[in-house]
Amino acid sequence: MHPDPPARTTPAPPPVDAGWGVGPCAPILSGVTSDAPPELLRLRSSIDNIDAALVHLLAERFKCTQQVGVLKATQGLPPADPAREERQIERLRDLALTAGLDPVFAEKFLNFVIAEVIHHHQRIAEDA
């Protein structure tokens, strides 16, 4: 499914991370200018790992909301639920404060995701 790792005929470059340099989960190092500070490369490697986790969690979230959409469409429930969204926002703001995330950003983030979900639900309802 993915290419063999390159043969190590030359001495390996000093590792910047654990060496998972193959496949989409690999840190994005190719094309990084060699004069980038090592600390920057280290942080970017962590950001890339976190982004991979975020994408997988978002995929899982949309699998859930897809099922919610089908359920709502078959039971004739409205795609949006403002009261539920208000509670979600309030809770995520609290969680954000605990985690050291700007609660304003957490709210913007949830609204961004919910907008996409409602768009999906409307499509499901139209197709039903």
Binder of a copy of itself out of 20, 22, 47, 123 (CB under 8 A)? 47
Q: Is 11 in the site for a copy of itself (CB under 8 A)?
A: no
- Measured in whole angstroms, the distance separating CA 97 from the mean position of its chain's CA atoms is 20
From the list 25, 122, 112, 27, the residue with the least C-alpha distance to 73 is 122
Binder of a copy of itself out of 80, 110, 118, 125 (CB under 8 A)? 110
Give dist(CA 37, CA 76) in Å, integer.
Answer: 56
Residue that has been written with the tokens 């994408």 in this structure = 55
Give dist(CA 80, CA 73) in Å, integer.
Answer: 11
Q: Is 22 in the site for a copy of itself (CB under 8 A)?
A: no
From the list 74, 82, 60, 65, the residue with the least C-alpha distance to 121 is 65
Interface with a copy of itself in residues 49-108 (CB under 8 A): 50-65, 67-68, 71-72, 75, 77, 83-84, 87-88, 91-103, 105-106, 108
Binding site for a copy of itself (CB under 8 A): 1-2, 5, 24-25, 28, 30-32, 37, 39-40, 43-44, 46-48, 50-65, 67-68, 71-72, 75, 77, 83-84, 87-88, 91-103, 105-106, 108-110, 112, 116
